[in-house]
Amino acid sequence: MHNTLFNQRRIFLSVIITAAFIGALLASGGVSQSQTGAAQVSGRDVTILVTAMPQNDRARALAAKLQPEDFVVTEEKKKQRILSVKRASEAPTIIAVLIQDDLVSHVNNEIQCVKDFIREAPEGSRVMTAYISTGSLRVAQDFTTDRARAAESLRIIAGSRSASTYSPYIQVSEALRRFDAQPAGRRLMLLVSDGLDLSQGFRNASPLFSLYLDQAISEAQRRGVAIFPFFAPSAGWTRWNRLAVNYGQGALNRLADETGGEAFFSGSDFVTFDPYFKELNELLDRQWLITYRSGNTGSGFRRIEVTTDYELHLHHPAGYRAREDEH
């Protein structure tokens, strides 16, 4: 059932984004597309987070059998030398939890689920909590190893258009920069948002042409942060406008895909976050932190591909932007 819904969702979003692309192309008379982002880079060593996305019991069994030597990393279609592969149990989690403050009020019914997720994070995890509200990032708790303290820092949301931000991705980028002071590990962001970027007005809210979305993807890729968004409608456009929902979900889906995460939504609203957290926790157990030595030189965007001999779908950052001063 999940596999069917997953495929339907992908097909649906592909249709919506394609339609948005054609409409924008006709309106503007052209498209300029740029690659954004970078990975956790230290000199020529690149660290990426890889998540297995099994859709059935057979794939789950294959994922459980994976060994460090099973992975192959290519950068710009050239095989790279892997330096280390750490399982989920060997790499601490560093998690930022961001919640958009103007979402519909029944998101407050799910705050306890978010608190439980934080408390149940692995021992040694570092957690930050923050709210996206009226154009600013309001940090409730900066990164701490005290998971109980981080959980208790969460509050109910405003649930009002007075707390709206014209683009949640500005605050996402700001939150991502706070990872700079954190140690190496599995870097994750849980983003509860409607995903809609209104910075250029509604007519230009397509996820294909959002400058702030591009910047957030770039910031996440450069720091090796995988983003896992939960969609919830806001008290504004996405509460009643279907196209706004499509734009928001499309943007969240792109944010997840290009950073190595997974977006969670069902229809134009939600009933509960419980099934989202169940799947998310399963995915976090099927992660590997891979460090490899890049054999490429020069600056520019470098596309990454991670494969195994098994028939498994792996999520990882789409790539990273290298700079001359990193070599």
Output the 3-class SS for 156-187.
CCCCCHHHCCCCHHHHHHHHHHHHHHCCCCEE
The pLDDT assigned to 325 comes to 56
Taking 50 as the pLDDT cut, the residues of the chain under it are 1-8, 10-12, 14-38, 43, 327
Q: What pTM was computed for the model?
A: 0.85
Angle in degrees, CA 216, 137, 109, rounded to 5: 100
The pLDDT assigned to 326 comes to 54
Q: Contact at 8 Å (CB) between 13 and 264?
A: no
The pLDDT assigned to 50 comes to 97
Single-letter amino acid, residue 225: V
The pLDDT assigned to 37 comes to 36
The pLDDT assigned to 223 comes to 94
Cα dist. 258→11, 61, 185 in Å?
Answer: 17, 26, 19
207 vs 35: CA distance, rounded Å: 14
Which residues are CB-neighbours of 66 under 8 A, at least 6 positions away?
A: 52, 288, 308, 310, 312
Q: Is 302 helix (H, G, I), strand (E, B) or coil?
A: strand
- Dig out the tokens for 66 from the structure: 């994976």
Q: How many CA atoms lie within 13 A of 273 on its CB side?
A: 25
233 vs 174: CA distance, rounded Å: 22
- Dig out the tokens for 191 from the structure: 């983003």
Which residues are CB-neighbours of 317 under 8 A, at least 6 positions away?
A: 37, 39, 48, 49, 220, 221, 224, 226, 258, 259, 260, 304
Residues 52, 56, 58, 60: what is their CA dihedral angle, to the nearest 10 degrees?
Answer: 30
User: If 0-12 CB within 10 Å is exposed, 13-18 middle and 19+ buried, where does residue 188 land?
Assistant: buried
The pLDDT assigned to 164 comes to 76
Domain boundaries 40-327, corresponding CATH code: 3.40.50.410
Q: Which of 233, 227, 232, 231 is nearest to 283 (CA)?
A: 227
Where are the domains positioned within the chain?
Answer: 40-327
117-131 in b/e form (b: 16+ CB < 10 A) is: bbeebeeebbbbbbb
